[in-house]
Chain A
Amino acid sequence: GAVVSQHPSRVICKSGTSVKIECRSLDFQATTMFWYRQFPKQSLMLMATSNEGSKATYEQGVEKDKFLINHASLTLSTLTVTSAHPEDSSFYICSASRRGTNYGYTFGSGTRLTVV
């Protein structure tokens, strides 16, 4: 149980275009989802926290107009990178918290974004 599906696993887009990444909890209701960015050989950097039905809370230094997060249902959260630039190229990972429990968050498999 506790599977989080993240798509796409890899995406290449042109500079100036937008890219949407989906994160779905397949067998549980995720009240909270987290979005991270990970640079090569570095730790995970929390970008934002999203709660179902409310606006996401962004970490300091993360542009909310550039990284749009939507958590419209208890099983789906999306991250849209708008007007992508090469410096947005990175590995993005989501994680989800099961409602009413605290047994550790389940992570998606990540999305490698390359902006050319």
Chain B
Amino acid sequence: AQTVTQSQPEMSVQEAETVTLSCTYDTSESNYYLFWYKQPPSRQMILVIRQEAYKQQNATENRFSVNFQKAAKSFSLKISDSQLGDTAMYFCAFQTTSGTYKYIFGTGTRLKVLA
């Protein structure tokens, strides 16, 4: 069975600084998808970034980028130039490419951006 681990329950970062959130996972599959979702206080889940396992190139979306290390089963999220609006819970999610395609979520990291 797949598992997703986020080892940092809480983190804080100064506005305009850079922060990295860690995520590791365990799977025996060779092809899958990985996601980072943001859940602000409104509790709306928002897709931040997506990575396909068969792509070696790390995904980037504006200030958000990932460091995908397939062999190490690591998928960290880097937020550059942090903004107050980045304050939220961040969830790492693993999605299999077979069966129901359901997500397996990590336990989340609560990020607080300080003014």
B-binding residues in A (CB < 8 A): 32, 34, 38, 41-44, 46, 49, 57, 91, 93, 95, 97, 102-107, 109-110
Contacts and interface: CB of A to CB of B under 8 A. Distances in A.
Contact of A34 (B35, B37, B103): B103
B43 A110 contact: yes
A5 to B, nearest CB: 12
Given A43-B91, A109-B42, A49 B33 contact: no
Contacts of B44: 107, 109-110
A32 B105 contact: no
A32 B100 contact: yes
B61 to A, nearest CB: 12
B91 A49 contact: no
User: Which of B43, B97, B110 has the most chain A CB within a 10 Å cutoff?
Assistant: B43
A44 B37 CA distance: 11
